[in-house]
Protein backbone atom coordinates (compact mmCIF):
# COMPACT_ATOMS: atom_id res chain seq x y z
CA UNK A 1 0.00 0.00 0.00
CA UNK A 2 1.00 3.64 -0.15
CA UNK A 3 4.47 4.42 1.15
CA UNK A 4 3.80 8.20 1.20
CA UNK A 5 6.73 8.87 -1.10
CA UNK A 6 8.35 12.24 -0.36
CA UNK A 7 11.20 12.10 -2.89
CA UNK A 8 11.53 12.60 -6.61
CA UNK A 9 10.74 9.59 -8.78
CA UNK A 10 12.51 8.77 -12.03
CA UNK A 11 11.00 6.00 -14.15
CA UNK A 12 12.40 4.81 -17.45
CA UNK A 13 12.33 1.98 -19.96
CA UNK A 14 14.29 1.07 -23.06
CA UNK A 15 15.51 -1.86 -25.15
CA UNK A 16 17.78 -4.24 -23.22
CA UNK A 17 21.43 -3.26 -23.54
CA UNK A 18 24.63 -2.80 -21.56
CA UNK A 19 24.81 0.24 -19.29
CA UNK A 20 21.11 0.86 -18.59
CA UNK A 21 21.47 0.94 -14.80
CA UNK A 22 24.70 2.88 -15.01
CA UNK A 23 23.25 5.70 -17.12
CA UNK A 24 20.65 6.33 -14.40
CA UNK A 25 22.80 5.97 -11.31
CA UNK A 26 25.81 7.78 -12.75
CA UNK A 27 23.70 10.77 -13.81
CA UNK A 28 22.07 10.98 -10.39
CA UNK A 29 25.50 10.92 -8.72
CA UNK A 30 26.75 13.63 -11.05
CA UNK A 31 23.73 15.75 -10.17
CA UNK A 32 24.32 15.28 -6.44
CA UNK A 33 21.19 13.19 -5.90
CA UNK A 34 20.98 10.51 -3.21
CA UNK A 35 19.13 7.32 -4.22
CA UNK A 36 16.67 6.16 -1.54
CA UNK A 37 15.01 3.29 -3.45
CA UNK A 38 15.65 1.58 -6.75
CA UNK A 39 14.02 -1.29 -8.61
CA UNK A 40 14.85 -2.64 -12.05
CA UNK A 41 13.83 -5.54 -14.26
CA UNK A 42 14.99 -6.84 -17.60
CA UNK A 43 12.44 -8.88 -19.56
CA UNK A 44 14.56 -11.40 -21.44
CA UNK A 45 11.66 -12.40 -23.68
CA UNK A 46 10.59 -8.90 -24.67
CA UNK A 47 14.19 -7.61 -24.58
CA UNK A 48 12.96 -4.64 -22.56
CA UNK A 49 14.49 -2.96 -19.51
CA UNK A 50 12.56 -1.12 -16.78
CA UNK A 51 13.81 0.97 -13.87
CA UNK A 52 12.24 3.03 -11.09
CA UNK A 53 14.38 5.22 -8.82
CA UNK A 54 13.45 7.44 -5.89
CA UNK A 55 15.98 10.07 -4.97
CA UNK A 56 16.61 13.19 -2.90
CA UNK A 57 18.63 16.09 -4.31
CA UNK A 58 21.35 17.14 -1.91
CA UNK A 59 21.17 20.73 -3.12
CA UNK A 60 18.23 23.07 -2.47
CA UNK A 61 18.79 24.60 -5.90
CA UNK A 62 17.67 21.43 -7.73
CA UNK A 63 16.33 22.43 -11.18
CA UNK A 64 13.82 19.89 -12.55
CA UNK A 65 13.84 21.35 -16.07
CA UNK A 66 17.63 21.23 -16.25
CA UNK A 67 17.55 17.67 -14.88
CA UNK A 68 15.11 16.58 -17.59
CA UNK A 69 17.20 18.19 -20.31
CA UNK A 70 20.43 16.70 -19.01
CA UNK A 71 19.09 13.21 -18.51
CA UNK A 72 17.23 13.37 -21.82
CA UNK A 73 20.53 13.77 -23.63
CA UNK A 74 21.93 10.70 -21.84
CA UNK A 75 18.74 8.66 -22.32
CA UNK A 76 18.58 9.32 -26.06
CA UNK A 77 21.66 7.15 -26.62
CA UNK A 78 19.73 4.20 -25.14
CA UNK A 79 16.44 4.94 -26.90
CA UNK A 80 15.15 5.38 -23.36
CA UNK A 81 11.83 7.01 -22.50
CA UNK A 82 11.53 8.43 -18.99
CA UNK A 83 9.30 10.38 -16.63
CA UNK A 84 10.25 12.56 -13.66
CA UNK A 85 7.65 12.96 -10.90
CA UNK A 86 8.00 15.63 -8.26
CA UNK A 87 7.53 15.00 -4.51
CA UNK A 88 3.95 15.26 -3.29
CA UNK A 89 2.42 14.88 -6.74
CA UNK A 90 -1.17 13.64 -6.62
CA UNK A 91 -2.61 11.95 -9.66
CA UNK A 92 -5.82 13.67 -10.88
CA UNK A 93 -8.53 11.00 -11.07
CA UNK A 94 -12.16 10.53 -12.02
CA UNK A 95 -14.01 7.65 -10.36
CA UNK A 96 -16.83 5.81 -12.12
CA UNK A 97 -19.30 3.77 -10.05
CA UNK A 98 -22.81 2.33 -10.23
CA UNK A 99 -24.76 1.45 -7.06
CA UNK A 100 -22.35 -0.74 -5.10
CA UNK A 101 -20.34 1.55 -2.85
CA UNK A 102 -17.68 -0.48 -1.03
CA UNK A 103 -14.79 0.39 -3.38
CA UNK A 104 -15.89 4.03 -3.68
CA UNK A 105 -16.18 4.36 0.09
CA UNK A 106 -12.68 2.96 0.53
CA UNK A 107 -11.15 5.30 -2.04
CA UNK A 108 -12.93 8.31 -0.55
CA UNK A 109 -11.64 7.44 2.92
CA UNK A 110 -8.06 6.94 1.72
CA UNK A 111 -8.30 10.20 -0.22
CA UNK A 112 -9.66 12.10 2.78
CA UNK A 113 -6.97 10.74 5.09
CA UNK A 114 -4.19 11.32 2.53
CA UNK A 115 -3.35 7.62 2.26
CA UNK A 116 -3.41 7.63 -1.54
CA UNK A 117 -1.52 10.07 -3.75
CA UNK A 118 -4.61 10.95 -5.77
CA UNK A 119 -6.70 14.08 -6.34
CA UNK A 120 -10.32 13.08 -6.98
CA UNK A 121 -11.69 15.59 -9.47
CA UNK A 122 -15.14 14.04 -10.03
CA UNK A 123 -17.31 10.96 -9.55
CA UNK A 124 -19.48 9.72 -12.43
CA UNK A 125 -22.36 7.29 -11.98
CA UNK A 126 -25.18 5.89 -14.06
CA UNK A 127 -27.35 5.99 -10.90
CA UNK A 128 -28.17 8.81 -8.43
CA UNK A 129 -27.84 6.68 -5.28
CA UNK A 130 -24.32 7.65 -4.18
CA UNK A 131 -24.56 11.39 -4.73
CA UNK A 132 -25.12 12.25 -1.01
CA UNK A 133 -21.99 10.30 -0.05
CA UNK A 134 -19.86 12.02 -2.68
CA UNK A 135 -21.26 15.49 -1.95
CA UNK A 136 -20.52 14.97 1.75
CA UNK A 137 -16.86 14.68 0.75
CA UNK A 138 -17.13 17.97 -1.12
CA UNK A 139 -16.67 16.38 -4.54
CA UNK A 140 -18.46 16.82 -7.86
CA UNK A 141 -20.98 14.13 -8.79
CA UNK A 142 -22.26 13.53 -12.31
CA UNK A 143 -25.36 11.38 -12.73
CA UNK A 144 -25.26 10.18 -16.33
CA UNK A 145 -27.86 7.43 -16.93
CA UNK A 146 -27.22 4.96 -19.73
CA UNK A 147 -28.94 2.23 -21.71
CA UNK A 148 -28.16 0.53 -25.00
CA UNK A 149 -29.87 3.27 -26.99
CA UNK A 150 -28.17 6.17 -25.20
CA UNK A 151 -24.71 4.68 -24.62
CA UNK A 152 -22.92 6.67 -27.33
CA UNK A 153 -24.34 9.98 -26.10
CA UNK A 154 -23.67 9.12 -22.47
CA UNK A 155 -20.06 8.22 -23.19
CA UNK A 156 -19.57 11.57 -24.95
CA UNK A 157 -20.63 13.25 -21.70
CA UNK A 158 -18.38 10.96 -19.67
CA UNK A 159 -15.43 11.79 -21.90
CA UNK A 160 -16.17 15.49 -21.58
CA UNK A 161 -16.08 15.27 -17.77
CA UNK A 162 -12.78 13.38 -17.93
CA UNK A 163 -11.26 15.98 -20.24
CA UNK A 164 -12.63 18.99 -18.36
CA UNK A 165 -11.38 17.62 -15.04
CA UNK A 166 -7.85 17.08 -16.33
CA UNK A 167 -7.93 13.50 -15.07
CA UNK A 168 -4.83 11.41 -15.71
CA UNK A 169 -6.45 8.24 -14.37
CA UNK A 170 -10.01 6.85 -14.43
CA UNK A 171 -10.95 4.34 -11.72
CA UNK A 172 -13.86 1.99 -12.38
CA UNK A 173 -14.87 1.31 -8.78
CA UNK A 174 -17.58 -1.25 -9.54
CA UNK A 175 -18.98 0.56 -12.57
CA UNK A 176 -21.37 -2.09 -13.82
CA UNK A 177 -21.45 -1.04 -17.45
CA UNK A 178 -19.39 -2.30 -20.36
CA UNK A 179 -17.50 0.53 -22.02
CA UNK A 180 -17.57 0.72 -25.79
CA UNK A 181 -14.50 -0.22 -27.81
CA UNK A 182 -14.08 3.45 -28.71
CA UNK A 183 -14.07 4.55 -25.05
CA UNK A 184 -11.77 1.68 -24.09
CA UNK A 185 -9.26 2.79 -26.72
CA UNK A 186 -9.40 6.40 -25.48
CA UNK A 187 -8.70 5.22 -21.93
CA UNK A 188 -6.04 2.64 -22.80
CA UNK A 189 -3.34 2.65 -20.13
CA UNK A 190 -5.16 5.20 -17.97
CA UNK A 191 -8.21 3.37 -16.61
CA UNK A 192 -8.19 0.73 -13.86
CA UNK A 193 -11.05 -1.71 -13.30
CA UNK A 194 -11.78 -4.08 -10.40
CA UNK A 195 -13.68 -7.36 -10.51
CA UNK A 196 -14.00 -10.57 -8.55
CA UNK A 197 -11.74 -13.55 -9.19
CA UNK A 198 -13.45 -16.80 -8.29
CA UNK A 199 -11.95 -20.23 -8.90
CA UNK A 200 -13.36 -21.66 -11.04
CA UNK A 201 -14.65 -18.54 -12.84
CA UNK A 202 -18.30 -17.59 -12.72
CA UNK A 203 -19.85 -15.05 -15.06
CA UNK A 204 -23.28 -13.51 -15.21
CA UNK A 205 -25.67 -12.76 -12.36
CA UNK A 206 -24.86 -13.52 -8.71
CA UNK A 207 -21.36 -14.97 -9.18
CA UNK A 208 -20.85 -15.47 -5.43
CA UNK A 209 -24.06 -17.49 -5.19
CA UNK A 210 -22.82 -19.61 -8.09
CA UNK A 211 -19.52 -20.04 -6.29
CA UNK A 212 -21.24 -21.07 -3.08
CA UNK A 213 -23.30 -23.66 -4.96
CA UNK A 214 -20.08 -25.15 -6.34
CA UNK A 215 -18.30 -25.15 -2.98
CA UNK A 216 -15.39 -22.92 -3.95
CA UNK A 217 -12.40 -22.74 -1.62
CA UNK A 218 -10.85 -19.48 -2.88
CA UNK A 219 -12.27 -16.02 -3.50
CA UNK A 220 -10.27 -13.11 -4.82
CA UNK A 221 -10.13 -9.95 -6.86
CA UNK A 222 -8.25 -8.60 -9.87
CA UNK A 223 -7.42 -4.98 -10.68
CA UNK A 224 -6.36 -4.35 -14.26
CA UNK A 225 -6.11 -1.79 -17.01
CA UNK A 226 -9.13 -1.87 -19.27
CA UNK A 227 -9.04 -2.78 -22.94
CA UNK A 228 -11.53 -3.88 -25.59
CA UNK A 229 -11.72 -7.38 -24.12
CA UNK A 230 -14.06 -7.51 -21.11
CA UNK A 231 -12.14 -8.10 -17.87
CA UNK A 232 -9.04 -9.23 -19.75
CA UNK A 233 -6.81 -6.16 -19.66
CA UNK A 234 -3.22 -6.12 -18.32
CA UNK A 235 -3.26 -7.09 -14.63
CA UNK A 236 -1.85 -4.76 -11.98
CA UNK A 237 -2.83 -6.43 -8.70
CA UNK A 238 -4.51 -9.62 -7.49
CA UNK A 239 -5.38 -10.97 -4.06
CA UNK A 240 -7.04 -14.16 -2.83
CA UNK A 241 -8.47 -15.50 0.41
CA UNK A 242 -9.21 -19.06 1.49
CA UNK A 243 -12.86 -19.85 2.28
CA UNK A 244 -14.53 -23.04 3.44
CA UNK A 245 -17.77 -24.99 3.57
CA UNK A 246 -18.81 -22.89 6.57
CA UNK A 247 -18.93 -19.70 4.46
CA UNK A 248 -22.39 -19.10 3.02
CA UNK A 249 -23.08 -16.99 -0.06
CA UNK A 250 -23.42 -13.80 2.00
CA UNK A 251 -20.08 -14.55 3.69
CA UNK A 252 -18.43 -14.96 0.30
CA UNK A 253 -19.87 -11.62 -0.81
CA UNK A 254 -18.52 -9.87 2.31
CA UNK A 255 -15.07 -11.41 1.95
CA UNK A 256 -15.07 -10.69 -1.77
CA UNK A 257 -15.85 -7.02 -1.18
CA UNK A 258 -13.05 -6.72 1.36
CA UNK A 259 -10.58 -8.18 -1.13
CA UNK A 260 -11.88 -5.96 -3.92
CA UNK A 261 -11.32 -2.86 -1.78
CA UNK A 262 -7.75 -3.82 -0.92
CA UNK A 263 -6.86 -4.95 -4.42
CA UNK A 264 -8.16 -1.79 -6.08
CA UNK A 265 -6.50 0.48 -3.52
CA UNK A 266 -3.21 -1.36 -4.03
CA UNK A 267 -3.42 -0.99 -7.82
CA UNK A 268 -4.22 2.72 -7.56
CA UNK A 269 -1.38 3.22 -5.07
CA UNK A 270 1.09 1.46 -7.37
CA UNK A 271 -0.03 3.60 -10.29
CA UNK A 272 0.16 6.83 -8.29
CA UNK A 273 3.67 5.98 -7.07
CA UNK A 274 4.80 5.27 -10.64
CA UNK A 275 5.39 1.60 -9.88
CA UNK A 276 3.46 0.30 -12.90
CA UNK A 277 4.95 -0.11 -16.38
CA UNK A 278 2.65 -1.19 -19.22
CA UNK A 279 3.91 -2.92 -22.36
CA UNK A 280 2.78 -5.67 -24.77
CA UNK A 281 -0.50 -6.14 -22.86
CA UNK A 282 1.51 -6.95 -19.72
CA UNK A 283 2.67 -5.02 -16.69
CA UNK A 284 5.81 -4.72 -14.61
CA UNK A 285 4.91 -3.66 -11.07
CA UNK A 286 7.65 -2.72 -8.61
> Which residues are identified as catalytic?
231
Residue 5 to residue 35: CA distance in whole angstroms: 13
Instruction: Give, in order, the Cα–Cα distances in Å from 114 to each of 2, 92, 167, 170, 222.
Output: 10, 14, 18, 18, 24
* DSSP string of the chain, one letter each residue: ------SEEEEEEEE--TTHHHHHHHHHHHTTEEEEEEEEEEETTTTEEEEEEEEEESSTT--HHHHHHHHHHHHHTTT-EEEEE-TT--EEEEEEE-S--HHHHHHHHHHHTT-SSEEEEEEEESSSTTHHHHHHTT--EEE----TTTHHHHHHHHHHHHHHHT-SEEEESS--SPPPHHHHHHTTTSEEEEEEEESS---SS-HHHHHHHHT-SEEEEEEEE--SSTT-SPEEEEEEEE--TT--HHHHHHHHHHHHHHHHHHHHHHHHTT-EEEETTEEEE-
Residue 36 to residue 4: CA distance in whole angstroms: 13
Amino acid sequence: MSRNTDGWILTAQCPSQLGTVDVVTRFLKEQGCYITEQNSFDDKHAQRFFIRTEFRPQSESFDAAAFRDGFGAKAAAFDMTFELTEPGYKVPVVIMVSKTDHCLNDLLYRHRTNKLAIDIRAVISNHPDLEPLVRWHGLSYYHLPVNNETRAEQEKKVWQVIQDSGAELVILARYMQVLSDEMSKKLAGRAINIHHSLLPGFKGAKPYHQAYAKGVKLVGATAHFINEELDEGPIISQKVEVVSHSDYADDLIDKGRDIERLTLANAVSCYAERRVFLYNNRTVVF
